[in-house]
Amino acid sequence: MLRVIKAFTGKVASNSDAGDLNGFLRNVLVEVAGENYRQMMYEAMALASMNERGIQYDLDPPLRANERVMSGLFATAISRVALRSRTEVRIDKPERDANVDALEHDIEGDGTPKTKNGRVDYLAWFDNRVIGIELKMASMNCETPKITESIDERWVKVVDQAKAAQIYLRARHREDPRRYPNPISFALMVIVGRRNIRIDDFEGVDKGIELMEDRSLHALRSLSPRPTFTATYTFPKEFRGLVPRRKGKEAPKRGRVMYTPFVSFIARPAVNSITI
């Protein structure tokens, strides 16, 4: 189940005339959860067709994968919600200039820019608004949740990236307000709650799931700057025991399973960034 615990507030983020950021992000998360479930179902069917036993412990859904895999999941979700969208967009210069620059400095043979500087993870046009999204992911022990150094650093970094994106988008808006209407950027971070346990201990492990969710959300509220949007998605019961991963890759370990009961989403808009 997907729950929005805390929504964006403020006139800029909740401006329904320009495009309500709460509605946009809520719809994106619904698509993320739905697509993740669809892929888990097909993966389970594929494993079952090979007469594999214990397939509930062999699943590897994209919503708990590494950041590169997860970014594809969000790209799909955003494309279904937005009027149009792009990934890894160059926004430090006007769009046509960026396209010409990409072709002139092509290193992949397909117009890929030489540098990642000045790019935003996702750019989406929603209602009468252009939205920049910067994405990061991290994991947290769901039994004893706490803010680790890695979580803190990733959150600070993605917030700074969203601020930089907002500065660039405001500059593009002044040059071409029709192409970049009512720009706003926000930082989005996915925190996967998980715990490595023995398969024999899996039965009954869900008894404290609500308390684990509440403790995780409480820990995330201590981040600085504080998230202004919080949501959580609880995995279906049959899809909570997943194959262990190590350094972003599947790493099956006999007799053990990665218990993954929920995922938290936190976000913060960059509405106060200075202009250039």
pLDDT in tens, 58-111: 777 888 878 888 999 999 999 999 999 999 999 987 765 555 454 444 444 444
The pLDDT assigned to 110 comes to 46
Helices 21-49 and 67-81: crossing angle, nearest 10°? 120
> pLDDT band at 18, cuts 50/70/90?
confident
In the predicted model, what is the mean pLDDT of residues 119-128?
A: 95
- 274 in a structural domain: no
Q: How far apart are CA 273 and CA 129, in angstroms?
A: 17
Q: Note whether residue 276 is domain-resident.
A: no
Mean pLDDT of 169-173: 94
Q: What percent of the chain has pLDDT over 70?
A: 82
Q: What is the pLDDT of residue 50?
A: 66
Burial class (CB in 10 A: 0-12, 13-18, 19+), 141: middle
> Is residue 52 very low, low, confident or very high in pLDDT (cuts 50, 70, 90)?
low
Nearest to 134 by CA among 165, 168, 156, 91: 165
CA distance 269 to 186: 4
Residue span of the structural domain in which 11 resides: 2-269
CA–CA dist 25, 5 (Å, integer): 13
Total structural domains within the chain: 1
Judged against a pLDDT cut of 60, whether residue 209 lies above it is answered with yes
Residue at 275 is within a domain: no
Check: CB of residue 245 under 8 Å from CB of residue 224: no
Average pLDDT estimate for 163-173? 94
Assigned domain for 251 exists:
yes
- Alpha-carbon Rg for the chain in angstroms: 20
Average pLDDT, the chain: 84
Is 33 within a domain? yes
> Which residue is it, tokens 């996702």?
122
The total of other beta-carbon atoms located within 10 Å of residue 274's CB is 8
Q: What is residue 21's predicted lDDT score, i.e. its pLDDT?
A: 94
pTM metric for this prediction? 0.85
- Residue 255 is predicted with a pLDDT of 67
Is the pLDDT at 263 greater than 90? The verdict is: yes
Where residue 116 falls among pLDDT bands split at 50, 70, 90?
low
| Domain presence at residue 240 | yes
Examine the pLDDT at 270 and tell me if it is beyond 60.
yes
For the stretch 19-47, pLDDT in tens is: 899 999 999 999 999 999 999 888 888 87
122-127-129-133 Cα dihedral, nearest 10 degrees: -20
CB 3 within 8 Å of CB 30: no
The pLDDT value recorded for residue 35 is 95
Does residue 209 lie within any of the structural domains?
A: yes
CA pair distance 268, 106, nearest whole angstrom: 34
Please answer whether residues 159 and 212 qualify as being in contact, where contact means their C-beta atoms are separated by less than 8 angstroms. no
Residue 206 is classified by DSSP as G
The Cα–Cα gap between 228 and 155 comes to 13
Please say if the pLDDT value at position 161 is more than 90.
yes
Mean local confidence (pLDDT), 160-172: 95
Nearest to 267 by CA among 223, 235, 233, 234: 223
